[in-house]
Amino acid sequence: MSLKGRDPSDIESNSQPEPRRLFLHEPGWQVGLKVGSIRENCYQMAPGQEYYHRLSDGEIYIARADEKLCLACAARRGLLSSEAKSLREAIASFEYVAHLDSNPDIELGPAPTD
Ligand SMILES: [Zn+2]
Tens of pLDDT along 48-95? 999 999 999 999 999 999 999 999 999 999 999 988 876 555 555 555
* Residue 11: pLDDT over 50: no
Angstrom distance (rounded) from CA 4 to CA 14: 13
Separation CA 86–CA 6 (nearest Å): 28
**Residue 56 included in any domain:** yes
Distance 22 CA to ligand 1 centre (A): 17
In a domain, 39, yes or no: yes
CA 75 to centroid of ligand 1, rounded, Å: 9
pTM of the entire predicted model: 0.60
Does residue 6 form part of some domain?
A: no
pLDDT at 30 over 80: yes
How many Å lie between the centroid of ligand 1 and the Cα of residue 42?
Answer: 5
Total of domains in the chain: 1
Quick one: what percent of the chain has pLDDT higher than 90? Answer: 51
Query: Within a domain: residue 3?
Result: no
User: Is residue 15, in this structure, part of any structural domain at all?
Assistant: no
Domain-embedded: residue 62: yes
- Per the prediction, the chain carries an average pLDDT of 79
Instruction: Say if CB 77 and CB 69 are below 8 A apart.
Output: yes
